[in-house]
Amino acid sequence: PDVFRGEGLGVVLAACAQLGAANLLRAISQPVGPKASIAEEWQAMACRLPAKLPKEERDSLRAAISLTDRSGYFELSRCPINAEIEQRMEQISSLVSGEEYARSFNPGLYSCARCGHALYAHTSKFTGPCLWPSFRAPLEVSSLHTIAVAQGAYNHYSCSVVELYCAGCSLFLGHAFEDGATTGDTHPDARWRHCVLSLSLQFAWDVV
């Protein structure tokens, strides 16, 4: 394809540093509209990944934090969050949970892992471009506490961005981006993409 020729190749190589293989292939396969440049398409699909940790630090974190004991993870959380703590929570969530909820579409309810406050229904999930699970909207407006981020201040996103916290206990959950309609959500109500850390969530199956 033309994306691999001339300047397009440089765009692809730069994006590889941020995208996993699956997201890379998906981004390449997405048609670019007549008014969108290749660079704009990559910007829309790119997702910043957690910084890698050395093996000794990974082993130490696994020994201290687990799916059954997340207290060390919870203690890190702040409201409002700062970049250093956010990255640390991303690293721990990815390491401990494997971001398992990103691949799960089982019927049920996602609640706050710390206080049990109901946050998201499985029906609002969709496959987004991120490592973390993507949701269209919260269960209720009252489910979340949000803080608006200044435009362009978060990873140079040009869309609106808000920080997400549990309304019950203020546990940091992730961010919401107003780009859902262009990053994988095909629902008629597509607008926001809630990118949430799996370790901040607890899933309960629907009882049939």
CA 180 from centroid of its chain's CA atoms: 12
With the CA atoms of 34, 126, 192 and 137 taken in that order, what torsion angle do they form, in degrees rounded to the nearest 10?
160
Q: pLDDT tens-digit profile of 2-17?
A: 433 444 444 434 444 4
pLDDT class of 207 with cuts at 50, 70, 90: low
Residue 195 bears catalytic tag: yes
Report the alpha-carbon distance of residue 12 to residue 7 in Å, rounded.
Answer: 9
Q: pLDDT tens-digit profile of 113-132?
A: 999 999 999 999 999 998 99
The predicted model scores a pTM of 0.77
Neighbours of 114 (CB within 10 A): 18
Tell me how many degrees the CA angle 18-20-21 measures, rounded to the nearest 5: 135
